[in-house]
Amino acid sequence: MDFEPWWLIFLPLLFALGWIAARVDIRQMLSETRNLPNSYFKGLNFLLNEEPDRAIDAFVEVAKLDPETTELHFALGSLFRRRGEMERAIRVHQSLLSRADLPQVDRETAQHELAQDFLKAGMLDRAEQAFEQVLDSRFAVPAVRALIRIYESEHDWPRAIEAVKRLRALVDEPVPQLIHYQCERAVAAMATKPPDIPAAEEALDAADNAAAALGAKTNGQASEARIAIERARLARLSSKPERERSYLVSILDIAPEYASLVAADILESYRRVGQQTEGLQLLRNHYMRYPSLDTFNVVFRELRAQEGHRLAWAFAREALRAHPSLLGLDRLLEAELASSGAPDPRTPLSAPDAGASPQGQALASLVPTHEAAAGADLSLLRSLIHKHTQRLDRYACRVCGFEARNFYWQCPGCNSWETYQPRRLEETK
């Protein structure tokens, strides 16, 4: 293609058009800058100087002068909520919702933000109402999740179950806590006067169905243990001891780590039918495969009652030699003091085993040989050990670390489900 001289006319023309466009952009930017209140620039300056409190006050002033700045309102509301100033956050979002000209998209956002304000402020009734108003918006999923948390905190299990069903209709994801919701329904039914047996059975059947639906999406051991425990309780209320024992014993196979929670109940179920020896042997065999402090305590006490002091202490020596534990020794001494405060004179103790480990030799040497001094020695020893074991005799949440003396399926600290191990704090370290 040949060059034409008249093309040079376009060069100054293009230059002139670019210069005009630049001038227009600069004038528009300057015009917008002049329209911004001075408080806006003061707020930016305070932020750069790391003075957030003064920056917030400046931006609040901007919001008052220019009500159209919805994004600034949202930013302030979120900032107030993070700082714990819930009253100011609620006021900011309510002022947005009071505007008749607010676009629908911004109105939904303001409603959702207001609901979060109420939830964090602990105003559950108002939070529930606010979240329900955005269930048909783009905030439906987070709103349903929040409603589930609210119903959990209120122990409104039927509504929590309905909310989970609504969540499953929106997103395809497993909800393991649904099993526990159904178990909680069963617990509530069994707690009525008289117990509502049919309602409890229906709830536990629903828990089984929920567990089957989850399948491989969850390990299921804790959930299966929970269902078996509640079914055993229901069988006891229904005066069906054989079925109760069957459910309790099944935990040894389906959830062996959780057997410590029901060891005493298993032994008692065997004792009711005069088979305490078989029950003791069952628990002893289980302890050898899955040692735990609670099972150790049950086995030692029953050995002491059935077979005497010498065999019980022999079991304790072997157990503590294999799994040294201050808490186990504390439980052992507590049982001994509660039983007699002194060794059984009919069954003299053997000397410490020279080949045993230091823990085993130390434990064997602690057994008194003179009845007169036994009670005082054991009492003194137990008081010294107990001071150190009190902080270890707890369950701990894996998520937040909240410690409790009792076992919970739902952590009282962070409200997470199945985060407590069925082991005392000393065993998890």
Amino acid identity of residue 105, one-letter, is V
d(CA 256, CA 283): 11
Run of H or E residues at 97: helix 86-97
Rg (CA), the chain: 34
Phi, psi (deg, nearest 5) at residue 417 = -100, 145
Name every residue whose Cβ is closer than 8 Å to that of residue 160 and which is 6 or more positions away in sequence: 148, 151, 152, 181
The residues near 154 (Cβ < 8 Å, ≥ 6 apart) are 124
Q: How deeply is 225 buried, as exposed, middle or buried, from its count of CB atoms within 10 A (0-12, 13-18, 19+)?
A: buried
Q: Measured between alpha carbons, how far is 169 from 365 in angstroms, rounded to an integer?
A: 65
Summarize the annotated binding site for Fe cation as residue ranges. 397, 400, 411, 414
- Rounded Cα gap, residues 80 and 139, in angstroms: 21
Phi-psi region of 179 (alpha: psi -120 to 50; beta: other; left: phi over 0): alpha
Q: What's the token pair of residue 305? A: 């009652």
Annotation: binding site: 397, 400, 411, 414
Is the Cα dihedral 195, 198, 203, 205 positive or negative? Answer: positive
- CA-closest candidate to residue 363, choices 421, 322, 417, 305: 322
Q: Is the preceding peptide bond at 52 cis, omega within 30 degrees of 0?
A: no
Q: Alpha-carbon torsion 375, 380, 381, 383, what sign?
A: positive
- The dihedral through the CA atoms of 97, 100, 101, 107 has a sign that is positive
